[in-house]
Amino acid sequence: MKNLIIILLVFVAPLISCKESPEEKNVVKKEEVIRPIKSYDYLISDYKNWWSYHYNEIALTSDFEALNEDSEKISKEDFLKKLISGDYITIEIDSEKDLTAYKLYRLPKDLDNEISNVMKNDAYRAFELFKMEGTKFPDFKVTDVNGIEYSNKKFEGKTTVIKTWFINCKACIAEMPELNEFVDIYKNKDIQFLSLATNEREPLLNFLKKNEFKYDVLPNQEHLIENKLKLTVYPTHLIVNEKGIIKKVFKKASQIISYIDQDKLMIKDEKTNLAPPPPPAG
């Protein structure tokens, strides 16, 4: 009997030791999911490679699942703060969830600091926009190019989509056809569209005769944009709720359209057939 027990243990023990534990299953599953969409080595090998990817594919002002370099979930605020340090870049990862997921990847210490400096500046701007969310839209009172008066009361009962722009801003003009289509879809669904322009009324009227833009246009808004809202990059897009609270802030038309229309995939910049702008100096 004793010999029989020993024989059974000899055969059973390997079976038990080879069985995958629940912890091991989780590790395997995690490794299968946490995969960068773009090669880290490729991105850091050349500044232009990274800039083209970052500009076209990374939307730091959007909602996303934030992961640190150990693939642990962190808050968006902490994620942006780490990017501001200049020690990391972010890469979208292959995720089984509907929400886009970005992960931090540490930059080599001996790498040229051009990527680091631009990443730091872009993350800082994204962080400033992030801090605006949940704040009250500044008080304003203005007349649009057609003589209609606007104030904060205009926000009551509707979601308001706002764009900042000026006539000589190429990026601002290039996205107008896309935004016009956006207005056509949502103009009767309790959403209104305002644009804050820095130009005076007459130049704007001349511009609008040749260029269709279906937003309501408010002239001479540089003070509101840059001194009250503290925005310095054009275009910038805001969503203000029916209580006058800034809900979201974005840098691109594609991002705000995607946010409003949650049932559609993110509309990429290819729609406007625009190449990314030249890489900013580090």
Please state, rounded to an integer, the average pLDDT across all residues of the chain.
84
pTM of the model: 0.76
The CA-atom distances, in angstroms, between 219 and each of 36, 60, 161, 162 are: 44, 29, 16, 13
What residue type is 278 in one-letter code? P
pLDDT at 279: 62
pLDDT at 189: 80
Cα–Cα distance, 156 to 22 (Å, whole number): 53
Cα–Cα distance, 78 to 182 (Å, whole number): 33
For residue 187, pLDDT over 90 is answered with no
pLDDT confidence band for 137 (50 / 70 / 90): very high
User: Tokens 């209609």 — which residue?
Assistant: 148
Cα–Cα distance, 155 to 137 (Å, whole number): 10
Short-list 111, 118, 108, CA closest to 58: 118
Report the pLDDT averaged over residues 96-104.
Answer: 87
Lowest mean pLDDT among 82-96, 199-213, 261-275: 261-275
For residue 231, pLDDT over 70 is answered with yes
Show Cβ contacts of residue 91 under 8 Å, excluding neighbours closer than 6 positions.
Answer: 36, 37, 38, 40, 43, 102, 103, 105
pLDDT confidence band for 190 (50 / 70 / 90): confident
Report the pLDDT averaged over residues 258-275.
Answer: 51
Report the pLDDT averaged over residues 236-257.
Answer: 94
pLDDT confidence band for 277 (50 / 70 / 90): low
* Cross-strand bridge partners of residue 142: 150
pLDDT at 265: 33
pLDDT at 36: 82
Report the pLDDT averaged over residues 240-261.
Answer: 91
Token digits of residue 131: 């801090």
Lowest mean pLDDT among 14-23, 89-98, 141-150: 14-23
Which domains are present in the chain?
33-132 (no CATH), 141-272 (3.40.30.10)
Lowest mean pLDDT among 23-27, 68-72, 154-158: 23-27
Report the pLDDT averaged over residues 16-20.
Answer: 40
Exposure string of 128-144, with b = 16+ CB inside 10 Å and e = fewer, is ebbebeeeebeebeeeb
Short-list 145, 167, 126, 151, CA closest to 251: 126
pLDDT at 41: 93
Q: Which residue has the higher pLDDT, 263 or 130?
A: 130
Contact call for residues 218 and 150 (beta carbons, < 8 A): yes
For residue 249, pLDDT over 80 is answered with yes
Residues counted in the chain: 282
Neighbours of 101 (CB within 10 A): 20
pLDDT confidence band for 19 (50 / 70 / 90): very low
Neighbours of 280 (CB within 10 A): 12
What residue type is 88 in one-letter code? Y
